Chains A and B, each alone.
Chain A
Amino acid sequence: MNQPPNSLQDIKGEQEAVSPKEHVIQVENLVNRFGAQVVHNNLCMNVRRDETLGLVGGSGAGKSVLLRSILGLHDFNSGSIRVLGKEIRYRKPGPYKHWGVLFQGGALLSGLTVRENVELPMVLHSNMSPELRHELAYLKIFMTGLNVEAADKYPSQLSGGMRKRASLARAMALDPKVLFLDEPTAGLDPIAATDFDNLLNYLQDNLDLTIVMVTHDLDSLFNVCERVAVLVDGGVVIDTLDKLVKNPHPWIQKYFGDKRAVIAREALGPGRLQPYKRRSE
Chain B
Amino acid sequence: MSDYLTIDSNDGVLTIGIMNDWLFPNVARLQAAIDPIPPGENSQVVFACHGLHDFDLAGAWVLYRKSLDLQEEGVETEFVGFKAAHFKFLQHVIDVAADSEAVPDYHEKLRRPNAVEQGIEQLGQVTTRGFESFGFISRSIVDGMKRPTKLVIGETIRQIHETGVKAIPIVMVVCFLMGIVLAYQSAGQLEKFGVTIYVVDLVSNSVFREIGVLLAAIMVAGRSGSAFAAALGTMKLNEEVDALQVMGLNPNQILIIPRVLGLVIAMPLLTVFADLAGLAGGAAISILALDISPVQFIERVAMSTRPMDMAVGFIKAPVFALLIAATGTLRGMEVQGSAEELGRLTTVAVVQSIFLIIIFDAFFTILFSRLGI
Binding site for B on A (CB under 8 A): 1-2, 4-6, 8-9, 11-12, 15, 17, 97, 110-111, 125-129, 132, 135-136, 138-140, 142-143, 145, 147-149, 152, 154-157, 174-175, 206-208, 278-280
Contacts and interface: CB of A to CB of B under 8 A. Distances in A.
A177 to B, nearest CB: 9
A279 B96 contact: yes
B223 interface: no
Nearest to A132: B31
Interface in B145-175: none
Contacts of B102: 147-149
Given A2-B71, A4-B84, A174 B94 contact: no
B101 A148 contact: yes
20 contacts: A1-B71, A2-B71, A6-B88, A8-B80, A8-B83, A9-B83, A9-B84, A9-B85, A12-B83, A17-B54, A110-B341, A111-B339, A125-B25, A128-B27, A136-B27, A139-B90, A147-B100, A175-B58, A280-B92, A280-B95
5 closest A-B pairs by beta carbon, nearest first, are A156-B337, A110-B338, A142-B97, A4-B87, A175-B56
A135 B336 contact: no
Interface stretch (B10-18, B59-67, B248-256, B283-291): B59-67
A135 to B, nearest CB: 7
Contacts of A12: 83-85
Contacts of A135: 61, 65
B360 interface: no
Q: Which interface residue of B31, B336, B340 has the most chain A CB atoms within 10 A?
A: B340
Contacts of B339: 110-111
Given A175-B24, A280-B92, A207 B62 contact: no
Contacts of A278: 92
A155 B31 CA distance: 31
B31 A174 contact: no
Nearest to A145: B96
Given A17-B53, A152-B104, A5 B84 contact: yes
A175 B78 CA distance: 25
Q: Which interface residue of B56, B78, B97 has the most chain A CB atoms within 10 A?
A: B97
A128 B28 contact: yes
A243 B341 CA distance: 50
Q: Which interface residue of B90, B92, B101 has the most chain A CB atoms within 10 A?
A: B92
B57 interface: yes
Nearest to B56: A175
B91 interface: yes
Contact of B79 (A2, A149, A206): A2
A205 B91 CA distance: 15
B82 interface: yes
B47 to A, nearest CB: 10
Contacts of A15: 52-54, 83
Contacts of B23: 175
Contacts of A142: 93-94, 96-97
Nearest to A11: B83
B80 A132 contact: no
